[in-house]
Amino acid sequence: MKTYFRLLSFAKPIEKFALPYALATILAIICNTFLFTLLGPLLETLFSSKGAASQTIMEKASALDFIGNLNRYIGNLITTYGKVYTLKFVCGLIVVAVFLANLFRYLSQRYMEDLRVHTLLNLRRTVFNNIMDLHAGYFSNERKGDIMSKVASDVQIVQFSVTNTLQVVFKEPIQLLFYIAVLLSISVKLTLFSLLVIPISGFIISKIVKRLKQQAMQAHESFAKMIGFLDESLGAIKIIKAFNASDRIKEKFNEENIYYSNLTRKMVRRQQLASPVSQTLGVLVVVCIVLYGGTMILNNQSELTPAKFLVYIATFSQVMQPIKAIADSFTGIHSGITAGMRVLELIDTKAEMTEKSDAVAIPEFKDSIRFENVHFSYGEKPVLQGINLTIKKGQTVALVGSSGGGKSTLVDLIPRFYDPQKGSIYMDGHDLKDITLNSLRAQLGTVNQQSILFNDTIANNIAFSRPDASREEIIEAARIANADDFILHTENGYDTNIGDGGNKLSGGQKQRLCIARAVLANPPVMLLDEATSALDTESERLVQDALFRLMENRTSVVIAHRLSTIQNADLIVVIDKGKIVETGTHQELIRLRGVYNKLIDMQTFSEE
């Protein structure tokens, strides 16, 4: 229940929808119940003695006997106006009751749908916002498909099951109480006998749904695997085809698909079993009521009249509908709560590096970035140990070293994608933890080895760093990045859509768009991570030229593998096994004949 009420909190402000829903539902229930009570007067009108009301219909009724009093009123109409007039009157009441019952039912469903959509909106927004705020390391350990499943599938299940249960919890018990009140007004003895079906049905249905929660959990996990597998397969489609692995991939997906389908089939069968069981029990009870009540009437042992008895049976047949709805809601709430627990787990996952309440905003980078005794590890694996480094404003600092040495991790610490476990990093004398994230990242621009672009136009991809930029500013940034020429040769120029991840462009073209994006942002500090490592010679020349323009008059931290970049650096930092082992200019390190010199000799860096 704690999980349920936590999920229900996403419906706030719930009173905006719940109050009109409650009013419309109650009015619909009243009209619907009144419709069944009109069955008795209709029968009495049709089958009472000609021209006058029967003796039974005119008998005095207690104040609580609603049907008896209604029959007495109809009897007075028959006596006063005749049966034809009374029949018209009763038929008119039926039409009005049906119209009002359906009108109010429509309104109640409309308000509930508004609540359902409102809940889904809040829940999905909260989940997505928290995903965007999670620290970068979270996505290294989680399957993308599992996250996508929670946002797409689980949220939908939660939204439906929670709001549907809310609807059932309010509407069906009230409808059930109204029906029972009618039944009690007809015959207390017969009603007590007939209501034995409720605990019996509840016990049997509880046995049916016992394993639903466990199966629902397994089904959600299996679905997440399929989504993740689909995402991976689409991203690696060229590799799959190149290694003739299509059949293996198909078989792997099919195995998971079969497992998920079998689980779903079992769950649906178990859920569907509750309905026929409750209906069967209902029919059995109705048969018992007919035998029991009919015997009482035939032996003159009851105050029941045939007309009242028919109203009783018709009303009791409707009692099973709210009971069935309540039973079905219990079968569905298990899957909803299970999905809800998965969604809440994602919502409760620790957000990105939190800001202190007194964090300051840095308007402009002015002096230096300083690492003091910085240690960092992924789990138990140490990546950086005792890093001490000062990057002064205007410097180009090149980070070099063998793969896996910790260069990328060191760069990722500057925008606080991660926080060091020990030591501190300072910008202009402020600990990064004391700076607001927005103002910190406003000082930084990034160009990665992997070109990250969006399925949008060229202009919008460049303007991603500055959405308010004019077309002239976008074009100028593209010229600086050596991208304007190829852009003008595309189908629609700057309005050309580049496809998913920029798949309509070459590697060099994508990288130049990323550089243009960074140029447009015009940050004082640039972080460059091997931006030319995967390019052909011609593309590399264009991109390298764009990078030199980008680094002009600004502070740059470059993870480099090209000798030309390193030679021009103001400071070269050699990192080996998570430690800084050498620092200096290119010539100073060559004369030192240490690790840097060995890297050159091993041709880790290539001459242009």
pLDDT mean over 40-69: 56
Task: Compute the mean pLDDT over every residue in the chain, rounded to the nearest whole number.
Answer: 79
Residue 124 pLDDT > 50: yes
Residue 115 pLDDT > 70: yes
Is 385 exposed, middle or buried, given 0-12, 13-18 or 19+ CB atoms closer than 10 A?
middle
pLDDT mean over 534-542: 65
* Lookup result for tokens 């990665």: 448
pLDDT mean over 200-205: 64
Residue 238 pLDDT > 80: no
Considering only residues 517 and 346, tell me which one the structure prediction assigns the higher pLDDT: 517
Predicted confidence at residue 424, as pLDDT, reads: 94
Residue 270 pLDDT > 80: no
In the chain, helix, strand, coil percent, each to 5? 65, 10, 25
Domain 2-348 has CATH 1.20.1560.10: yes
Predicted confidence at residue 37, as pLDDT, reads: 76
Residue 198 pLDDT > 70: no
Ranges 10-14, 309-313, 338-342, 569-573: which has the least confidence: 338-342
Residues in contact with 578: Cβ distance below 8 Å, sequence separation at least 6, in sequence order: 382, 383, 384, 385, 405, 406
Render 235-268 in DSSP notation, one character per residue: HTHHHHHHTT-HHHHHHHHHHHHHHHHHHHHHHH
Please state, as a whole number, how many other Cβ atoms lie within 10 Å of the Cβ of residue 194.
22
pLDDT mean over 502-520: 86
Report CA torsion sign: 95, 97, 100, 104: negative
Reduced to 3 states (helix: H, G, I; strand: E, B; else coil), residue 425 is strand
Predicted confidence at residue 204, as pLDDT, reads: 66
Considering only residues 139 and 328, tell me which one the structure prediction assigns the higher pLDDT: 139
pLDDT mean over 526-542: 69
CA distances in angstroms from 494 to 129, 292, 460, 517, listed in the order given? 30, 83, 8, 13
Residue 348 pLDDT > 60: yes
Reported for 134-138, long-range contacts at CB under 8 A and 24+ positions apart, including other chains, are 134/349, 134/350, 134/351, 134/352, 135/350, 135/351, 135/352, 135/353, 135/417, 135/418, 136/412, 136/417, 136/418, 137/378, 137/417, 137/418, 138/349
Which percentage of the chain shows pLDDT scores above 70?
A: 80
Considering only residues 307 and 45, tell me which one the structure prediction assigns the higher pLDDT: 307
Both structure tokens of 44? 């009495």
Ranges 354-363, 461-470, 477-486, 491-500: which has the least confidence: 354-363
Domain boundaries, the chain: 2-348, 453-522
Predicted confidence at residue 339, as pLDDT, reads: 73
Predicted confidence at residue 58, as pLDDT, reads: 46
Predicted confidence at residue 49, as pLDDT, reads: 54
User: Are the C-beta atoms of 337 and 213 separated by less than 8 Å?
Assistant: yes
Considering only residues 322 and 397, tell me which one the structure prediction assigns the higher pLDDT: 397
Ranges 80-94, 476-490, 515-529: which has the least confidence: 80-94
C-alpha count within 13 angstroms, C-beta hemisphere, residue 272: 6
pLDDT mean over 477-483: 88
Residues in contact with 187: Cβ distance below 8 Å, sequence separation at least 6, in sequence order: 293, 302, 303, 304, 308, 312
Residue 61 pLDDT > 70: no
Q: Whole-angstrom Cα distance, residue 607 to residue 458?
A: 32
The separation between the first and the last C-alpha atoms of the chain, rounded to the nearest angstrom, is 67
Predicted confidence at residue 99, as pLDDT, reads: 92
Considering only residues 561 and 385, tell me which one the structure prediction assigns the higher pLDDT: 385
Residue 94 pLDDT > 90: no
Both structure tokens of 30? 């009243």
Render 89-111 in DSSP notation, one character per residue: HHHHHHHHHHHHHHHHHHHHHHH
Considering only residues 322 and 571, tell me which one the structure prediction assigns the higher pLDDT: 571
Residue 310 pLDDT > 90: no
Predicted confidence at residue 605, as pLDDT, reads: 47
Predicted confidence at residue 328, as pLDDT, reads: 62
Predicted confidence at residue 63, as pLDDT, reads: 44
Categorize the per-residue pLDDT at 392 as very low, low, confident or very high, splitting at 50, 70 and 90: very high
Predicted confidence at residue 62, as pLDDT, reads: 47
> Each residue of 146-175: pLDDT tens digit?
777 777 777 777 777 777 777 777 788 888
Which range, 16-20, 26-30, 79-83, is most confident? Answer: 26-30
**Residue-wise burial string across 225-237, b where 16 or more C-beta atoms lie within 10 A, e elsewhere:** bbbbbeeebeeee
> Each residue of 560-607: pLDDT tens digit?
776 767 888 899 999 998 999 999 999 999 898 888 888 877 754 444
Q: Whole-angstrom Cα distance, residue 530 to residue 382?
A: 23
Residue 358 pLDDT > 90: no
Predicted confidence at residue 286, as pLDDT, reads: 75
Q: Whole-angstrom Cα distance, residue 54 to residue 571?
A: 110
Residue 214 pLDDT > 60: yes
Categorize the per-residue pLDDT at 48 as very low, low, confident or very high, splitting at 50, 70 and 90: low
Helices (H), 48-137: 66-81, 83-133
Considering only residues 38 and 118, tell me which one the structure prediction assigns the higher pLDDT: 118
Which percentage of the chain shows pLDDT scores above 90?
A: 17
Residue 36 pLDDT > 70: yes
pLDDT mean over 75-99: 82
User: Are the C-beta atoms of 396 and 556 separated by less than 8 Å?
Assistant: yes
Considering only residues 534 and 172, tell me which one the structure prediction assigns the higher pLDDT: 172
Question: Rounded to the nearest 5°, which phi and psi values hold at 415?
Answer: -85, 10
Report CA torsion sign: 559, 446, 536, 480: negative
Predicted confidence at residue 357, as pLDDT, reads: 74
Categorize the per-residue pLDDT at 200 as very low, low, confident or very high, splitting at 50, 70 and 90: low
Residues in contact with 392: Cβ distance below 8 Å, sequence separation at least 6, in sequence order: 367, 368, 555
Predicted confidence at residue 599, as pLDDT, reads: 82
pLDDT mean over 218-222: 74
Predicted confidence at residue 15, as pLDDT, reads: 80
Considering only residues 533 and 287, tell me which one the structure prediction assigns the higher pLDDT: 287
pLDDT mean over 258-286: 75
Q: Whole-angstrom Cα distance, residue 575 to residue 411?
A: 12
Q: Whole-angstrom Cα distance, residue 570 to residue 396?
A: 5
Predicted confidence at residue 369, as pLDDT, reads: 94
User: Are the C-beta atoms of 253 and 233 separated by less than 8 Å?
Assistant: yes
Residue 508 pLDDT > 60: yes
In CATH terms, the fold of domain 453-522 is Rossmann fold (3.40.50)
Considering only residues 1 and 485, tell me which one the structure prediction assigns the higher pLDDT: 485
Predicted confidence at residue 598, as pLDDT, reads: 85
Q: Whole-angstrom Cα distance, residue 552 to residue 264?
A: 60
Considering only residues 450 and 372, tell me which one the structure prediction assigns the higher pLDDT: 372
> Each residue of 8-18: pLDDT tens digit?
777 788 788 88
pLDDT mean over 425-431: 93
Q: Which strands, in side-by-side order, build the sheet including 525-529? A: 444-447, 525-529, 555-559, 396-400, 571-576, 579-584
